[in-house]
A = this chain, B = another copy of it.
């Protein structure tokens, strides 16, 4: 496959995620050596005018207002789903059945049932050579890819603790108006599904283990918010503002998780620390170009957490970027995601995270919610 036969991408949705994906599609072939190049073929949105403006802005060649038409277009080989979670399953299953590769933003779906159906559709499609990936973009932070590699190489030994937090503060003001992210129908859950999902996926990705059981607690600090229409009326918040849970991994480790949008001063503090028998790793997305590593096999005399600046040519994805010390930003997690997906499509490899990985996350979140609803009772995570 050469540049003369690029892979046509059709993207559904153009809000925050759509902007980030567009920038990645535009950039990936300029930075990485790709076996197949993407063509930004079609952007799909409900409102024709807005969609056309967004397409011009972000560089998409055509527009559609009906995702079913998008799926049927010959110039689209890959469907990129950037809509809220309640529409994921319908679009993704239809696209896969139409033989289109699918990249679906997280969470995979708002329910285990929907995620299961999607995973089954992905499995059927896979047998026909159609690829699918769920967009847990943080796996592609170089520091976290490096962490995965180090853990797989045994650098920290047997995992004993995971300590993961995703802290934001944008809801701390009780006068902030209602939004779709606070509506269970649209969003599925609150902090738990929106940001907690990332740290669940990362834990399973980094450790290579599964979360086996949980004890959960959720809370809604601000149960009503002013409607965004300026009517002066209030709407009920139907999701959690914050969620926390204890867990055990399949390998015996103990884990703690917390996701909140009320930690004032923490803007996007997605943090994970993993302690093993032979070392520890720690990461905070607010310093995304750094990985902290403690090698417990060293002499105590000179041991300590070291700050690896993950900008060396030998670090994941860095072979294509700038010299050491010249950091990357948030958007590049998507560039890396597109790189890997395009390589997988070209080489016939199953992408990761798969829909099954997305379903596994959903099952953990579901167990947390069931536990939280049942006085934090220990709850086993279902397995497919």
Interface positions of A (Cβ within 8 A of B):
3, 16, 20, 22-23, 26-27, 30-31, 56-59, 146, 150, 155, 160-161, 163, 165, 168-170, 172, 215-217, 219, 221, 242, 244-246, 248, 252, 254, 256, 258, 260, 262-269, 273, 275-280, 285-289, 293-296, 299-309, 311-312, 314-315, 322-332, 371, 375-378
Beta-carbon nearest neighbor of A293 in chain B = B302
12 contacts across the A-B interface (CB closer than 8 A): A16-B322, A30-B57, A160-B242, A160-B263, A168-B325, A267-B323, A268-B323, A268-B325, A286-B327, A294-B306, A299-B314, A376-B377
Residues of B within 8 A of A287 (CB): 287
Beta-carbon nearest neighbor of A320 in chain B = B19
Q: Which of B3, B170, B315, B324 contacts A268 (CB 8 A)?
A: B324
A216 CB, nearest partner CB in chain B, Å: 8
Residues of B within 8 A of A322 (CB): 16, 20, 330-331
Q: Say whether, besides A30-B57, A170-B323, A330-B328, A280 and B301 are in contact (CB < 8 Å).
A: no
Contact in complex: B304, A308 (CB < 8 Å):
yes
Contact in complex: B305, A307 (CB < 8 Å):
yes
Q: A30-B57, A304-B306, A329-B332 are known contacts; what are 13 more A-B pairs with Cβ within 8 Å?
A: A26-B26, A26-B30, A150-B302, A161-B262, A216-B246, A262-B275, A265-B280, A266-B275, A266-B280, A267-B309, A287-B287, A301-B315, A326-B329
A55 CB, nearest partner CB in chain B, Å: 11
Residues of B within 8 A of A26 (CB): 26-27, 30
Contact in complex: B375, A304 (CB < 8 Å):
no
Instruction: Specify how many copies of this chain sit in the oligomer.
Output: 4
Q: Say whether, besides A215-B217, A300-B314, A263 and B161 are in contact (CB < 8 Å).
A: yes
User: Once bound together, how far apart are the Cα atoms of A156 and B294, in whole Å?
Assistant: 20
The 9 closest A-B pairs by CB, nearest first: A268-B325, A267-B325, A265-B294, A306-B306, A329-B329, A215-B376, A326-B330, A375-B378, A267-B324
Q: Say whether, besides A23-B27, A280-B266, A286-B309, A296 and B172 are in contact (CB < 8 Å).
A: yes
Beta-carbon nearest neighbor of A308 in chain B = B304
Beta-carbon nearest neighbor of A279 in chain B = B264
User: Once bound together, how far apart are the Cα atoms of A269 and B219, in whole Å?
Assistant: 28
Residues of B within 8 A of A172 (CB): 160, 277, 296
